Amino acid sequence: MFTWVAVLATQRGVLESALARAWRGGAGVICDLALASPKKRQPRPALVVWAEGASARRAPRWPDVLDEWRDIYDEKLFPAPECPVLAEEVSGLGADALIVHGAPGLTQASIGWYAKGALVEYEHVGGATVAWTPDSGLGRPLDGSVRQAMALGGKRLASLVGSDDSVNIAERISATSAALGEVLIRRAFLRLVDQEPPPIDELNGLVSQAKRRRIALAR
């Protein structure tokens, strides 16, 4: 399982300032993520950060309609408060921020975009599925974006949810969530770095092997 905050590498100073405002105790781990590109145009380098023993200084702020959705479906928007609080602080200081979360096997996945100190876009697949923006309200992820899904591995989704009667329904639902979760996360990174990312297992490996800095935080 992973939950990361990602920002463009040009916003390193903003991110480091926001860490002290968002978290206490433990540390924030920042890694430099640079995706290889087969094209002449290089992707934008990004920073990926997660909490290591740190706790949030306060509770995150959610739009009322998402708060209600969470209570109705008993689904966490993100598994812990640390990354949402950091994304609020980072974006409040002027750097747009992305949160990506993937549960084991990607049976649950969430992405959140933050600007000007607040959540401005949210997508989630799991036991329940939802998408939200301030302008459109609640909806469903991937509505009207089949072409994007196919470009980022949607063919795999089609094979996983095929008509083979030997596939158990629960297994098919789980496979569907995993495939959709991969599409959500890869599409979010494409938007951030302007380069199609590798499959999630490879992306996770790149993050784990990347150059990193551990910033100790005051209590």
Which one, of 42, 47, 34, lies nearest residue 7 by Cα? 47
Q: Has residue 120 been placed in a domain? A: yes
Q: Domains in the chain: how many in total?
A: 1
Alpha helix segments (H runs only) across 43-145: 64-73, 82-92
Q: Has residue 192 been placed in a domain? A: yes
CA distances from 2 to 110, 128, 161, 208 (A): 11, 19, 25, 11
For 93-111, the pLDDT digits (tens) are 999 999 999 999 888 999 9
Q: Has residue 41 been placed in a domain? A: yes
For 154-183, the pLDDT digits (tens) are 444 444 444 455 445 445 545 667 888 898
Please tell me which of 24-33, 127-136, 172-181 the model is most confident about, judged by mean pLDDT.
24-33
Q: Has residue 51 been placed in a domain? A: yes
For residue 35, the enclosing domain spans: 2-214
Q: Has residue 219 been placed in a domain? A: no
